[in-house]
Amino acid sequence: MTVPQAVLDRMKDAVGAKGFSTDQNDIAPYLEEWRSKYAGHTPLLLKPAMAAEVSAILRIAHETGTPVVTQGGNTGLVGGQIPHGEILLSTRRLTQMAPVDESGMTVTVEAGVTLAQVQAAADDRNLLFPLSLASEGSCTIGGNIATNAGGTHVLRYGMTRALVLGLQAVLPNGSVLDMLRALHKDNTGYDMKQMLIGSEGTLGVITAATLRLFPKPEVSVTAMVAVPTPAAALALMGAMQARTGGMLSAFELLPRIALDLVIRHVEGTRDPLAAPSPWYVLLEATSGAATDLAASVETTLAKAIGDGIATDAVVAASQAQSAALWKLREGVSESQKREGASIKHDISVPVAMIPDFIIRATPAVLAIVPGARPVSFGHLGDGNLHFNFSAPAGGDGEEFLARWDEVQQCVHDIVQTFGGSISAEHGIGTMKVAALPRYKSHAELDALRAIKAAFDPKNILNPGKLVPPVLRL
């Protein structure tokens, strides 16, 4: 597509000299996503510094029918943030943060503030913002909201949509929807903010949000547990939830190969237990000081080992040891990238069905790509599995990646039989938009398209992402 120079000039004027770039060297880092699966191009990078500038940009885009793709920290994994000829609007200069409201336990921030900055601001006031992702140093709040990010603490605190009380967004026609209200209850019609959360930039540009904070836990217990099977891990989770009174904040499942890859590729990591195990659980439980949480966790682990549910465990004795255990989990994606080619899935099934899903889906993929190395890990507590496969050792990476679509359809078809979702926390973006009609009903797709048409009748925001076109014969 070609954007007329007159339109480009009007958009440049809307943001001023510091708010745009046409230098392809400057723009290049915005055009390729982290896994290098998607690369794009744009005639103009816009970097507005306030909601009014975003509004001006979208008014011009709406008037002229010019498509725009919005990008936060460029940490998305399904290509939704990558432009393919459209104008690219980066929210990284929207960095204002209001003081934390300690009594109301909220904070209002602009979309370009990083997740780590929000976490730090809350921590400074002895509060907690529980969203936690491996990319938290570079992902932005606007991107987290646009993709309804999940992460490691969904089990206790929910997805991003559960953490947003208020929202400000600019609609495709340039009007500003200001809903920055720190209200826990507001029953005055459709919840417009929830329409925008998880919409992947297709309904509006998120410019600010009021976020919910929580009391900072006074006690945190982290443990790495060796288990023989995913079914044993599930049994351990049930026992731990019962014994701690629902104080689990994270319950992560890891296969042995994941630890091997991390220890091989991530400096400063080591095996936490004396003997290798087929599977591991990394768990975290948090509470107030009045609860003897450590004793509850240790008693439960001892019983689990006695019952054969677990074979060994280590409980972190310090914050440094806890961080070392979490480094093993947080390094999995990076180590898999360093290991070479991999085919990845972000799926969810009912929690109780995770073991059966792994048993069924793993051999189905290996039948397509013999020798592939299963690296299935993720958030067992909420049923979200990153069902990944690394290329066969010594195999041809490009040949392996050429089977991506075939493998993905195989996995997603099995997910559907389990009543699951083909996207648990990463979104649809470019990667899965063509597959969506295979797994969504006609009624769901019609509703999705109707919402898109109501918000964005000219289809200028992130066209071709999330919402499948109507196929006409």
Whether residue 50 is predicted with pLDDT greater than 80 in this model: the reply is: yes
pLDDT of residue 334: 94
At residue 473 the predicted structure's pLDDT band, cuts being 50, 70 and 90, is: very low
Whether residue 220 is predicted with pLDDT greater than 70 in this model: the reply is: yes
Q: What is the pLDDT of residues 116-141, one digit of tens each?
A: 999 999 999 999 999 999 899 999 99
Q: What is the pLDDT of residues 302-329, one digit of tens each?
A: 999 999 999 999 999 999 999 999 999 9
Q: Which CATH entry fits the domain spanning 5-90: 3.30.830.10, 3.30.43.10, 3.40.50.11810, 2.60.120.200?
A: 3.30.43.10
Q: Between residues 469 and 372, which one has the greater pLDDT?
A: 372
Q: What is the pLDDT of residues 354-363, one digit of tens each?
A: 999 999 999 9
pLDDT of residue 470: 79
Q: What is the pLDDT of residues 135-167, one digit of tens each?
A: 999 999 999 999 999 999 999 999 999 999 999
Q: What is the pLDDT of residues 397-424, one digit of tens each?
A: 999 999 999 999 999 999 999 999 999 9
Q: Which CATH entry fits the domain spanning 219-333: 3.30.70.2190, 3.30.413.10, 3.40.50.300, 3.40.50.720?
A: 3.30.70.2190
Q: What is the pLDDT of residues 191-213, one digit of tens each?
A: 999 999 999 999 999 999 999 99
pLDDT of residue 471: 61
Q: What is the pLDDT of residues 257-287, one digit of tens each?
A: 999 999 999 999 999 999 999 999 999 999 9
Q: Is the whole-model pTM more than 0.85? A: yes
pLDDT of residue 34: 85
pLDDT of residue 322: 97
| Structure-token match 């509004």, residue found | 55
pLDDT of residue 284: 98
pLDDT of residue 55: 98
The domain locations on the chain are 5-90, 106-215, 219-333
Strand bridging mode 219-227 / 279-287: antiparallel
pLDDT of residue 122: 98
pLDDT of residue 21: 98
Average pLDDT, the chain: 96
Which class in CATH covers the domain with range 106-215? Answer: alpha beta
